[in-house]
Structure 1
Amino acid sequence: MRLESICWIITPRLAHRHYFKSKSNYFMTIEKSKLATWMILLGVLFWGATFSFTKQAVGIVDVYSFLSIRFIIASILLAIIFANKFKLYTKEILWKGILLGTILSAGFILQTTGIKYTTASNAGFITGLVVILVPIIISVINKKLPKVNQIIAIVLALGGLALLTLKNKFSINIGDVWVLLATFALATHLILITKLVKNINASLFVITQLFTVGIITGIVGLITNYRITISGDWNVWKAILFCAIFASAYMYTTQAYMQRYITELKTAIIFSFEPLFAVLVAYLYLNEQITSHTLIGGLLIFIAMIISEIKQRQTTMVVTN
């Protein structure tokens, strides 16, 4: 017998209160789910657009200057917004933020360097392989072979990657290699996020992580170029501000706070839109050509991401329930 029926038998007033409280919580959850979906989808659009903006900027200033300024601005902006939260700061937040910020630094340095030598579309699609690499890395850590659906997804993703990166002479563009290495770093970062960032203040963690990225990339820039270049070119600052405000401060904070209101399956599907957004923005903003190889390769990777993530997320949800 359902709880509402038992309550009606015991006391109508209690049942009435429980019924409307349940309805209220239900509709509140639905509204939060819708809000989370649209906010994260908007953030994924920003992520996809960063490839085009970054490609223009790194043609004028060096990679490390761009990254350092971008992430320091993002961390300062968040520090101002969440200034009242710093009383909750702990050593755990500090070391976890530095650790994951260091890994994220490696990913962004490799990715931004690779964008200088490849197209924004290719960079977007290859970076999308992070959702394919995650189950592979987890399988290696757990010493278990990937499941059948994961193997199918990997084969499809490799086929799509080949269409995107292999040229007429079967040579791989050096930019594609850098972006692929960046994707491994980002996949590792994604796995550690789920394991380490628990029971700590999300906003303070994001601030620490982004500030760490800004400092590390700045130090690398000083070592390699002996300076941090600041250009007055509007295209550079347009890219820096866009990436700092929307793709960094907005998206990382939104993910930390809003992802809890939607299922992991839904999050995976939303994230799968990033490479498609990258191609669309590159076509509209940079006038990059969309070839048949790009379309077929991108489609294969997109299908692979969906196969890998949906099966993986469904299993996780069943075990949790």
Structure 2
Amino acid sequence: MVNRSKEFYADFALVIVALIWGVTFLPMALALKTNGVFVLLFWRFLIAFILMSLISLKFVKKIDLNSVKYGLIVGVFLFGGFALQTFALKFTFSSTVAFITGLVVIFVPFLVFVMFKTKIRLYSYVGAILATIGLYILCDGEFGFGWGEFLSLLCAFAYAFEIVLAGYFVKKCEIFTMVATEFLIVCLLSLACAVAFDGRVLPVFDREFIVAVGITATFATVFAFFVQNLAQRYTTPVKTVLILTLEPVGAGVIGYYFGGEILTSWQIFGAIIILVGILVSEIGSYFVQNLRGQR
């Protein structure tokens, strides 16, 4: 049985991760004005890999080959999510991409059921549906279906597999090696795409690049992905993906206060629905656990 206090702290840690990822949207958007997406991803994950490897030296005495294998698999899906989302932005509105990518909150429960035959509670479905409705409203309800939408759908599946597999593998291996390998795979694949699509690897070393890579490599990659993987030892993939829907909420708040972006009352309402969906899932899990404890 999962320790309830550990699950609570894991869920709270995931809230922090989601908010950190939300904060990175604005500096990344500014850096993209002078640098290609894959150039930024390459340097972000290269620095993250180096930092994670240095940290691992303190805790890892022997490299576990299973951890390397699991990190490789998860890294491929993580990169797939980044790459597909990037190309989707070339064909449709960013809000549409954000909404369809957010459908990961619906895909994860079904993947968990299909892959591991894990029963999904009703409150998880309710929370997922509310979060999806909230994402749709937050993204201003722009939706059609073309290449951009199709790529966004594939992106959502890639992220869903990453979350489900990370939650499964992290309980079976050494976490430092797995996460470092994950970063290395994304770094190498980003390098190949930077050469193929951006035509360069060296960045424009302006202030925006330094700030964006500095923040994303340390806080949004080394810290956030390590905490996400660690937290998934104590909570479920369904709750993980629900909590991570806070990312666009955090991005909207930062964009509003620091980037001069405008949030309509309708979008704020969408953000509130996302929060309600997360609370339904969170409170529901504790309610069910307490009922079990009273039997």
**TM-score between both structures, scaled by the size of structure 2:** 0.78
- What is the aligned length? 289
Other-structure match for 2:141:
166
Change over 3 Å in CA distance of 1:263–1:63 after alignment to 2:
closer
Q: Partners in 2 of 1:311 and 1:249 — Cα distance?
A: 31
Distance change >3 Å, CA 273–CA 156, structure 1 → 2: closer
Aligned mates of 1:289, 1:299 — CA distance in 2:
16
SS of 2:253's partner is helix
Does residue 218 (structure 1) correspond to residue 182 (structure 2)? The answer is no
Counterpart selection for 2:254 from 281, 290, 313:
281
Q: Is the Cα contact below 8 Å between 1:62 and 1:229 reproduced in 2?
A: no
- Is 2:54 the partner of 1:64? no
**How far apart, in 2, do the equivalents of 1:45 and 1:154 lie?**
19
Q: In structure 1, what is the equivalent of residue 273 of structure 2?
A: 300
Q: Kindly, what percent of the aligned residue pairs are identical?
A: 28
Task: Give the number of the structure whose alpha-carbon radius of gyration is greater.
Answer: 1
What pairs up with 1:136-147 in 2 under 5 angstroms? 136-141=110-115
Does the Cα contact within 8 Å between 2:60 and 2:176 map onto a contact in 1? no
Query: In 2, distance between residues paired with 1:316 and 1:182?
Result: 34
Segment drifting more, 33-42 vs 153-162 = 33-42
Contact in 1 for aligned 2:170/2:232 (Cα 8 Å): no
Question: Over aligned residue pairs, what C-alpha RMSD do you find?
Answer: 4.0
Structure 1 pair 40–318 and aligned structure 2 pair: CA distance change class (3 A) = same
**Which amino acid in 2 is paired with 1:234?**
R
Which residue does 2:69 correspond to in 1?
Answer: 95
Give the match for residue 54 of structure 1. 28
User: d(CA) in 2 for partners of 1:302 and 1:125?
Assistant: 16
With 246-255 and 223-232 compared, the bigger mean Cα shift is at 223-232
CA distance, structure 2, for counterparts of residue 148 and residue 33 of structure 1 = 19
Q: 1:314 to 1:124 in 2, by over 3 A?
A: farther
Contact 2:15 2:244 in 1 (8 A): yes
- One-letter code of the match for 2:84? L
Partner SS, residue 82 of structure 1 = helix
Q: Say which is worse superposed, 271-280 or 43-52, in terms of deviation.
A: 271-280
Could you tell me which runs of 5 or more consecutive residues in structure 2 were left unpaired when the two chains were aligned.
Answer: none
CA distance, structure 1, for counterparts of residue 110 and residue 162 of structure 2 = 14
Q: 1:65 to 1:176 in 2, by over 3 A?
A: same
Contact 1:129–1:301 (CA<8 Å) still a contact in 2? no
Per-residue deviation at 1:307? 3.2
**Post-superposition offset of 1:296:** 2.6
Q: Is the 8 A contact 1:218 1:228 kept in 2?
A: yes
Secondary structure in 2 aligned to 1:227?
coil
Q: CA deviation at 1:220?
A: 1.7
In 1, Cα distance between equivalents of 2:116 and 2:277: 22
CA-CA distance at 1:162 after TM superposition: 3.8
Map of 1:244 onto structure 2: 217
SS of equivalent to 1:88: coil
Q: Deviations over 1:252-298 (max 9, x none)?
A: 223344665x6669867754543322211111221110013322333
Match status 1:134 vs 2:114: no
Separation in structure 1 between the aligned mates of residue 71 and residue 65 of structure 2, nearest angstrom = 10
**Structure 2 SS opposite 1:187:** helix
Amino acid in structure 1 at the alignment position of 2:141: L
User: Structure 1 144/210 Cα, relative in aligned 2: closer, same or farther at 3 Å?
Assistant: closer
Question: Does structure 2 retain, via aligned residues, the 8 Å contact 1:125–1:298?
Answer: no
1:28-39 paired onto structure 2 within 5 Å:
none
Which amino acid in structure 2 is aligned with residue 203 of structure 1?
F
Relative to 1, partners in 2 of residues 1:301 and 1:40: Cα closer, same or farther, differing over 3 Å? closer
Structure 2 contact 135–274 (Cα < 8 Å) conserved:
yes
Per-residue CA shift, 1:108-158, capped at 9, x if unaligned?
A: 223345567655x87766655433331132344468997654554454344
Q: 2:74, 2:165 within 8 Å by CA — same for their partners in 1?
A: yes
The separation in 2 between residues aligned to 1:151 and 1:165, in whole angstroms, is 23
Q: Which amino acid aligns with 2:73?
A: L
User: Could you tell me how far 1:40 is from its partner in structure 2?
Assistant: 4.8
With over 3 angstroms needed to count, the CA separation of the structure-2 counterparts of 1:179 and 1:312, relative to structure 1, is farther
- What is the deviation of 1:82? 2.1
Give the TM-score, by structure 1 length: 0.72
Whether the aligned pair in 2 keeps the contact of 1:106 and 1:185 (CA below 8 Å) is yes
Amino acid corresponding to residue 232 of structure 1 in structure 2:
F
1:83 aligns with 2:57: yes
Residues in 1 aligned to 2:246 and 2:261: alpha-carbon distance in whole angstroms: 19
